[in-house]
Structure 1
């Protein structure tokens, strides 16, 4: 095995052990034993478990940040950016559960590496930049872009941590419901949100029909109530 191959092997083993036990719960002996090497080999490549942990965290940090940043910049429409970013994070969680578990742990004080909180701060900065442009274009006060960015990123991030363990519903449905809440708000939630534009248009049409029926029903109720008031005032008996 070449030096490069050995290094990658140690990173893979360390990633698994750190995800299960964290930095403090993992020893150099365990890493070396799992790799079938002596402890000095681990020290030779990384200087110890802290150095190995730092590289693992940095890789996950950069990988997830790149994935979400690309998602935010690849879509033209704002809703599309949100959909792709939410789906990208959930895809990362589903395909890299060990890496995500490492990120959400508190980083060790001595490593100087990024933590999940600092990762989210980086992503929020990207979102803030996009929001500020959108706010300015639509005449909104862009000084609130940071607040909205933190709110959106926080909503997706906390949901992602929850979904890491439950894994239900499927990631496309989770992303659709996140975007439903972020885009429509509680007062305008779609009953069956979807990332498919065609299905979403049909849902909007159904929602419009429901709203029209409710409005018509309320108008009829108001008319009946008004008629009752008039009869009461005139003393007439209802027919």
Structure 2
């Protein structure tokens, strides 16, 4: 049987796919260049040639996952009412967890210093987007727009932490989880007080 030689681009994509699986299974520290080469069926120099080592491969994978997740959630937050945006964002994030599990695992569990962006910087971008939307809505309702960032942190934090929990649980179904997140967030926003105080019934 004749082996078909891959083009440089095809080999690069193969190594990215192999690396994504390996980093998700073994973590950054547990993945060696030897492991990557073995899984790809190549010699170690091939990995170095394309990425300069596992750090370069890892950085490319992180960048791709970040962009993919950012586009999904930002699109979800782009249109609709407050409630629709919360629903869309919840489903988008949970769908990413469900369909791109390896990518999400790498983003939330195995961040390494030295990469330009991290999951936390991505969450900050989501907070900024939600904050801008809430600020406009707050002004129209006579609420303090400067507090929008505080509420945005709470909303994004609730969604992110629930998604990380669901990564391991996978029960109940993502639609049920999303509905409960929306229930908490929307009913909280709908009955929001201008000057809430602790200890009030």
Q: TM-score, normalised by structure 1?
A: 0.75
Q: Which moved more, 1:133-142 or 1:23-32?
A: 133-142
Structure 1 contact 106–115 (Cα < 8 Å) conserved: no
Paired residue for 2:13?
A: 8
Residue 177 (structure 2) aligned to one of 174, 179, 190: 174
Does 2:118 align with 1:115?
Answer: yes
**C-alpha offsets along residues 83-116 of structure 1, whole Å, 9 cap, x if unaligned?**
0001100000000000000000242123x23222
What are structure 2's unaligned runs of at least 5 residues?
1-5, 192-201
Secondary structure of the residue aligned to 1:64 is helix
What are structure 1's unaligned runs of at least 5 residues?
189-239
Does 2:137 align with 1:144?
Answer: no
Paired residue for 1:55?
A: 60
Distance 1:129 1:28 in 2: 44
State how 1:61-72 maps to structure 2 within 5 Å.
61-72=66-77
Distance 1:69 1:30 in 2: 35
Structure 1 contact 57–113 (Cα < 8 Å) conserved: no
Aligned residues: 186
Structure with max Cα Rg: 1
Task: Give the CA deviation at 1:126.
Answer: 0.9
Paired residue for 2:96?
A: 92
Highest RCO, 1 vs 2 (Cα 8 Å, sep ≥ 6): 2
Paired residue for 2:108?
A: 104
